[in-house]
Amino acid sequence: MYRAPRIDPDERRRITAPVRPRPPARPAPARSRRRWWLLKWTIILTVWGAIAGGLGLLWFAWDLPRPEAALDAARRPSLTLEDRSGQIFATFGDVVGDPLRLSDLPPYLPAAAVSVEDRRFWSHAGLDLIGIARAGFVNLRAGRVVQGGSTITQQVAKNLFLTNARTFRRKVQEVLLTLWLERHFTKQEILEIWLNRVYLGSGAWGVDAAAKLYFGVSARRVTLWQAAVIAGLPRAPSRFSPRVDPAAAAARGREVLAAMAETGAITQEQAQAASAQIAFPTRPGTAAGWFSDWASEKAEALMTPGADAVLRTTLDLRMQTVVETKLAAILDGPGAAVNAGQAAVVVLEAATGAVRAMAGGRDYRASPFNRAVLARRQPGSSFKPFVWLAALEKGARPDDIVLDAPIRIGTWSPSNFEGRFRGEITLEEALAHSVNTASVRLLLQVGGPRVVAEVARRLGITDQLPANASLALGTGEVGLLELAGAYASFFNGGMLVKPTGLEAVQVEGKPLPLPRPAPTRVVDPDLAAMMVRMMAAVVSRGSGTAAALPGRLVAGKTGTTQDYRDAWFVGSTGGLVIGVWMGNDDNKPMKDVVGGSLPARLFHDIAQEIVR
């Protein structure tokens, strides 16, 4: 019998033990080096890429402005001139309104801005890729740029902080600032910044400035259609400005109303009703350039250089428009036939000296020289009231007699315009008919030219006056504004008047005190009343009948210089003093134009329209 050999237990365990796999062979040396090289350079490039990216961002952000200064973005200092009612009629630099919160505005104004500028404003994080794609598609289909892709936040970033350069670096900076704004400001705050700082044409920055400039109201009180017009301006402020192209502004406003209806901000019915209401107020046909220059110069000493200022002036735009319209009509009509090339007019309140209208010539753009303020011309017989007042102060009265007869002073012998002498006449008749011989006699009786010159200076005439008897005939040179201001003392009961164009001044939002001279009496009230009586006779039956207004008291005085080089009428009705001068800049004679003809007629035409 066969027997298997005995196996040692240790041997059995060795034989039955599981077979272990052999360890893998070590890779070849070249293969290992390649893997290590790839890993090393991956790490190196990642590190250097991160460094380069960081340096790139640092380079892009190196000259970024401080975003915290969002509401203090640099701009030109502004000077805004308002008329007596608060309507803006002239601006210099940039116009800025009051800073407003969303809660200050009617809800449809910010809604209009969002509807037309950035419909996804409330949902995106500053960058609207969907909006960019949509704008690109719309522009491609239209064949021109009709829709922008920038969000409101992007507009705040680029308009407040960056230049207009179209570079890649600027675009990256815009993105960085946009993200910063979205992180540090709420959506409401970003929209407020945009509404207060966006440029809206004609020098207006912000919706409040635009509302005041275009509609004469605060943005707090704009209507729906006005809000739509304002919201439509940022796309092309110059083209859509109501002051530049009212028709284009109206069409753009209707586009905004349609967009608001599409977004559900308003109903279709509201959009249609508001579209039908779009009608811009008729702008006065004037920039009141001469008045603007004069009032700004007067305010200059009160203002801080480089600061924003708002001047509430005494100007009445309605009166200003009437003055410029009537002046142009006279010069272009009857004035053209008699070589009357220029004219100037001032309208001021007799009681206060507040200048309500001023025209320094026929066309400010053609000649901004202010003939009402800066020109010095001989007043002729319009200077005679100072002679008559001097006589009253010496005890004469309107019914007293003065001799109208030839008079000789050395080699000089004045004559009358009419070429005849009346003999003994009253002071009233002598003034009414502008009798030259009577004026010279009165000047001599009161003490000579020094006394009369002192009377004129007391009433506000500052120019040097001749120290001879010819002063009685107005041979000195005066300015129209000063002469009208001096006449005001006759018509206000004898109080000194200094013509003024300012009612209030604000610098950086703070009111400045205006110097208000204390009331000063310069003429006895009884004597002032006598002067009015005698000057009323000038208009009712004397040399100034062309200035008469049926049913109204009109008093004034005509003036004509030698060879018809200057013609004047200064008078008053309804509490207003209106001064008129006509002549030529080169001092050429007009053809038979006297103070009682075209100047008195222009006074009449203006007074008839402005006095109520």
pLDDT of residue 163: 52
Q: Helix, strand, coil shares of the chain as percentages rounded to 5?
A: 45, 15, 40
* Residue 528 predicted with pLDDT over 90: yes
In angstroms, the Cα distances linking 221 to 67, 89, 231, 406 are 31, 19, 15, 70
* Residue 526 predicted with pLDDT over 50: yes
pTM: 0.74
Same domain for 194 and 111? yes
- Which of 241, 381, 434, 597 is flagged as catalytic? 381
pLDDT of residue 344: 98
DSSP 3-state assignment of 348?
A: strand
- Which of 78, 82, 115, 117 is flagged as catalytic? 117
Same domain for 544 and 556? yes
Straight-line distance from the first to the last Cα atom of the chain, in angstroms, rounded to the nearest whole number: 156
pLDDT band at 102 (very low <50, low <70, confident <90, very high): very high
Same domain for 494 and 468? no
* Residue 327 predicted with pLDDT over 50: yes
pLDDT of residue 553: 97
Q: Which two tokens stand for residue 320?
A: 């200003």
The residue behind tokens 């409040």 is 208
Residue 19 within any structural domain of the chain: no
**How far apart, in whole angstroms, are the C-alpha atoms of residue 93 and residue 77?**
6
Count of residues for the chain?
612
Tell me which DSSP letter residue 495 carries. B
CB distance 373 to 479 below 8 Å: yes
pLDDT of residue 5: 57
Residue 251 within any structural domain of the chain: yes
Evaluated on CA atoms 515, 519, 523, 527, the torsion sign reads: positive
* Residue 542 predicted with pLDDT over 60: yes
pLDDT in tens, 137-152: 555 665 554 455 689 8
DSSP 389-438: HHHHHTT--TTSEEEES---BTTB----TTS---EEEEHHHHHHTT-HHH
Phi and psi, residue 318, nearest 5°: -65, -45
pLDDT of residue 60: 46
Residue 340 within any structural domain of the chain: yes
More confident of the two residues 116 and 134 = 116
pLDDT of residue 523: 98
**How far apart, in whole angstroms, are the C-alpha atoms of residue 428 and residue 113?**
69
pLDDT of residue 77: 74
Residue 36 within any structural domain of the chain: no
**How far apart, in whole angstroms, are the C-alpha atoms of residue 411 and residue 396?**
29
Residue 82 annotated as catalytic: no
Q: What is the CA radius of gyration of the chain?
A: 41
Q: Is 507 exposed, middle or buried (0-12, 13-18, 19+ CB in 10 A)?
A: middle
Q: What is the mean pLDDT of residues 406-415?
A: 94
More confident of the two residues 260 and 308 = 260
pLDDT of residue 145: 47
Same domain for 315 and 367? yes
Residue 5 within any structural domain of the chain: no
Would you put residue 335 in left (φ > 0), alpha (ψ -120 to 50) or beta?
A: alpha
In angstroms, the Cα distances linking 471 to 115, 386, 464 are 71, 10, 11
pLDDT of residue 439: 98
pLDDT of residue 72: 52
Q: Which two tokens stand for residue 113?
A: 């801005």
pLDDT in tens, 30-40: 667 777 777 76
Residue 399 within any structural domain of the chain: yes
* Residue 302 predicted with pLDDT over 60: yes
CA dihedral 576, 485, 600, 324 (to 10 degrees): -70
How many percent of the chain have pLDDT more than 70?
Answer: 82
Same domain for 113 and 260? yes
* Residue 58 predicted with pLDDT over 50: no
More confident of the two residues 591 and 419 = 591
The β-bridge partners of 521 are 495
CB distance 79 to 203 below 8 Å: no
* Residue 405 predicted with pLDDT over 80: yes
**How far apart, in whole angstroms, are the C-alpha atoms of residue 452 and residue 385?**
10
* Residue 113 predicted with pLDDT over 80: yes
CATH number of the domain that residue 433 is part of: 3.40.710.10
- Kindly give, in sequence order, each residue whose CB lies less than 8 Å from that of residue 404, ignoring residues fewer than 6 positions away: 416, 421, 422, 423, 424, 425, 430, 435, 437, 438
More confident of the two residues 57 and 428 = 428
b/e code 325-362 from CB counts within 10 Å (16+ = b): bbbbebbeeebeebebbbbbbbbbbbebbbbbbbbbbb
Residue 192 annotated as catalytic: no
Whole domain around residue 576: which residue ranges? 311-377+479-499+515-612
pLDDT band at 516 (very low <50, low <70, confident <90, very high): confident
Same domain for 230 and 370? no
Same domain for 531 and 581? yes
Same domain for 163 and 182? yes
SS (H, E, C) 176-230: HHHHHHHHHCCHHHHHHHHHHHCECCCCEECHHHHHHHHHCCCHHHCCHHHHHHH
pLDDT in tens, 63-75: 445 545 544 555 5
pLDDT in tens, 159-209: 776 555 555 656 666 777 888 888 888 999 999 999 998 999 888 889 999
DSSP 3-state assignment of 524?
A: coil
Average model confidence (pLDDT) across the chain = 87
Tell me the range of 215-219, 238-242, 395-399 where mean pLDDT is highest. Answer: 395-399
DSSP 3-state assignment of 135?
A: helix
**How far apart, in whole angstroms, are the C-alpha atoms of residue 109 and residue 514?**
37
Q: Which two tokens stand for residue 76?
A: 């030109």
Q: Which two tokens stand for residue 430?
A: 């002598």
pLDDT of residue 220: 96
User: Which residue, 194, 230, 238, is CA-closest to 214?
Assistant: 230
In angstroms, the Cα distances linking 475 to 57, 258, 382, 531, 561 are 78, 68, 10, 21, 8
How many percent of the chain have pLDDT more than 90?
Answer: 64
pLDDT in tens, 353-393: 999 999 999 999 899 999 999 999 999 999 999 999 999 99
Number of domain units in the chain: 3
Same domain for 364 and 409? no
Same domain for 220 and 133? yes
Same domain for 519 and 595? yes
CATH number of the domain that residue 114 is part of: 1.10.3810.10
Q: Is 72 exposed, middle or buried (0-12, 13-18, 19+ CB in 10 A)?
A: exposed
Residue 596 within any structural domain of the chain: yes
User: Which residue, 381, 447, 445, 385, is CA-closest to 414?
Assistant: 381
Residue 254 within any structural domain of the chain: yes
Same domain for 334 and 464? no
Q: Which two tokens stand for residue 269?
A: 């019915």
pLDDT of residue 318: 95
